[in-house]
Amino acid sequence: MSREEESSEKKPKYESIEDIPGIGQSTAKRLRELGFHTVESLAMATIRELVQAGIGEKRAFEIINAARSSSSLSFIRVDELFEKRQNVSRLTTGSKKLDELLGGGLETQAITEFYGEYGSGKSQIAHQLCVNVQLPSGCGGLGGGALYIDTENTFRTERIIQMSRHMGLDPDQIFKGIVLAEAYTSDHQMFLLENADKVVKESNIRLIVVDSLTAHFRSEYIGRENLAERQQKLNQHMHKLIRLARAFNAVALVTNQVMASPEVFFDEPIRPIGGHIVAHTSHTRIYLRKARTGPVRIARLVSSPYLPEGESIFEITENGIEDSEGDREG
């Protein structure tokens, strides 16, 4: 047995937060009220967050360390990281050309952001991915469910039915694999995500969608005097999302609105909401726009940690997300 295997066997395995030393029933109740339902969520918590539950700093430090000792969160060599990266999976969009642009599909343990004007296809892609994620891995799926946080009342069961039937799937079974949560304010949106770890774990969620990320923040925090608070909350919200994606090896997808930049003459006059906070936290950013006519959409990869910038075209039809006619096989 290797040294790594021996050390992993010695790690205590806590199934629930009550199993962690120092957490009794009353403490567990307070933690759950703050959104910490699983050991994984505690492993990624900060001391400041636990202090809000009335836990002293020293005890909070011990609880977090105990949770981390039960997880795989630790210092690792880059060769070990490379081996770990082999566990990263990819989720197909339904378009081979769009998948190629994304390096094979949407990556787990990372945030992918689609932004564009109204009607550019952001929510359509989100719906398609809710169906595709339930496919087995050999068919481009992840064999799991989807959590869809809807902030603009854009989720439509009718669209899921169309996409499912085109793929030869039973819509009733696909419905059972999608957990929907409607967010009515930015605080409610943050609350839903902060309390999502339990449903993610129990429902085998492999795709987390926030559609759209910035709509409530944009409408509630108006004026330059509120910008700092808005950005701080967005930062907190995005980091909670990436924690969930990494803890449960899930795809995190956010859609984003855009605004015009009339002062820009030589570059793209459209930019996404959220500024540097969203730009730095999203690992992969794709700008969507309509072609002049028909169902064709143009996707431009704006930024990625390792993929080159580029463009591809796809179509949004009654069937869902597809390659353009000239790119389809047969």
Asked if the structure places residue 78 within a domain, the reply is no
Asked if the structure places residue 79 within a domain, the reply is no
75-90 tens-digit pLDDT? 667 776 677 677 899 9
Residue 116: which residues within 8 A CB-CB, separation 6 or more? Answer: 122, 258, 270, 287, 288, 289
pLDDT (0 to 100) of residue 259: 86
110: pLDDT confidence band, cut at 50, 70 and 90?
very high
- Cite the DSSP H helix spans in the chain: 3-10, 25-33, 39-43, 47-51, 57-69, 78-85, 96-101, 122-132, 157-166, 171-176, 186-194, 197-202, 215-220, 227-247, 275-281
Please state whether 111 falls in left (phi above 0), alpha (psi between -120 and 50) or beta: beta
Question: Which of 69, 101, 126 is the last residue in one of the domains?
Answer: 69
258 and 125 in a common domain: yes
Asked if the structure places residue 74 within a domain, the reply is no
Domain interval for residue 133 = 87-327
311 and 255 in a common domain: yes
Peptide bond into 212 cis (omega under 30): yes
195 and 141 in a common domain: yes
pLDDT (0 to 100) of residue 8: 45
Spatial separation of the C-alpha atoms in residues 15 and 83, rounded to whole Å: 26
205 and 161 in a common domain: yes
137 and 64 in a common domain: no
Asked if the structure places residue 82 within a domain, the reply is no
The CA-based angle 273-278-279, given to 5 degrees, is: 95
Lowest mean pLDDT among 222-236, 264-278, 312-326: 264-278
CATH of the domain at 36: 1.10.150.20
Asked if the structure places residue 61 within a domain, the reply is yes
212 and 313 in a common domain: yes
236 and 185 in a common domain: yes
136-180 tens-digit pLDDT? 999 999 999 999 999 999 999 999 999 999 999 999 999 999 999
pLDDT (0 to 100) of residue 209: 98
Q: Which residue has the tokens 């339990």?
A: 198
Q: Return the DSSP state at 139.
A: G
Percent of the chain with pLDDT over 90: 57
Residue 66: which residues within 8 A CB-CB, separation 6 or more? Answer: 12, 14, 20, 21, 22
Neighbours of 91 (CB within 10 A): 26
55 and 174 in a common domain: no
Asked if the structure places residue 14 within a domain, the reply is yes
45 and 173 in a common domain: no
Question: Which of 22, 38, 69 is the last residue in one of the domains?
Answer: 69
Find the radius of gyration of the CA atoms of the chain. 21
What does the block give as tokens for 303? 């930024």
Asked if the structure places residue 236 within a domain, the reply is yes
Question: Which of 35, 69, 103 is the last residue in one of the domains?
Answer: 69
Give the three-state DSSP class for 146: strand
229 and 147 in a common domain: yes
Domain count, the chain: 2
Q: Is the pTM of this model over 0.85?
A: no
54 and 118 in a common domain: no
Q: Among 140, 135, 133, 94, which residue's Cα sits nearest to residue 248? A: 133
3-39 tens-digit pLDDT? 444 444 456 778 888 999 888 888 888 888 887 888 8
The 8 Å CB, 24+ separation contacts for 3-11 are 11/69, 11/70
255-294 tens-digit pLDDT? 999 987 655 555 566 788 888 888 888 999 999 999 987 8
CATH of the domain at 95: 3.40.50.300
Asked if the structure places residue 76 within a domain, the reply is no
280 and 189 in a common domain: yes
